[in-house]
Amino acid sequence: MTKYITTIDGENYEVELLEDNKITVNGEPLNVDFEEVSGQRIYTILVNGKSFEVHVSEDDLDWKILIRGTLYHAEVVDEREKRLRDAAGEGQTSSGEYVLKSPMPGLVVKIPVNEGDEIEKGAVLIILESMKMQNELKSPQAGVVTFVGVQEGDSVEQRETLVIVNPPPESEEK
């Protein structure tokens, strides 16, 4: 069973793929069958006995889905990627203290920052290995690294605090 977080026009849905053409959307079970029409990203979809024709296209940002004349923008990520994005601070505001917590259990492979370092938004704070994959955990904001709570080679648990970044001194209100 695989879970995905699907965001359609700003609204989140948890989609779980089960077996035998069954899925759940936010816990609600659905029977779904689909088939591609002539290799052109046009699909016929049968959802609980109702038929839909769906046009699908993809770009770097999201999926575009046209159903019955309405265009939807959708982003689909699996649970693991969502945890990584949350840990990397994507979608968070860039003011105030940022506390990087481990999105999953893993091994700290590299720490390219030190306490006191001034960093830019998007700087890699930790490289964490989990399930034989290396993940770069990045800062969602520019600032100063005020705490590094682990060392290279450490094993960490999910939600363990790894690094804290505070806003740069010039952006703090006086």
pLDDT tens digit sequence for 3-30: 888 888 778 899 998 888 889 999 999 9
**Domain, as residue range, for 165:** 94-171
Residues 20 and 67 in one domain: yes
Q: Is residue 25 part of a domain?
A: yes
In a domain, 42, yes or no: yes
End of a domain among 19, 43, 78? Answer: 78
pTM (2 decimals)?
Answer: 0.50
Same domain, 104 and 64: no
Per-residue model confidence (pLDDT) at position 136: 85
Give 69's contacts (C-beta < 8 A, 6+ positions apart).
Answer: none
In a domain, 83, yes or no: no
Binning the chain into helix, strand and coil, the percentages to the nearest 5 are 5, 55, 40
122 and 167 fall within a common domain: yes
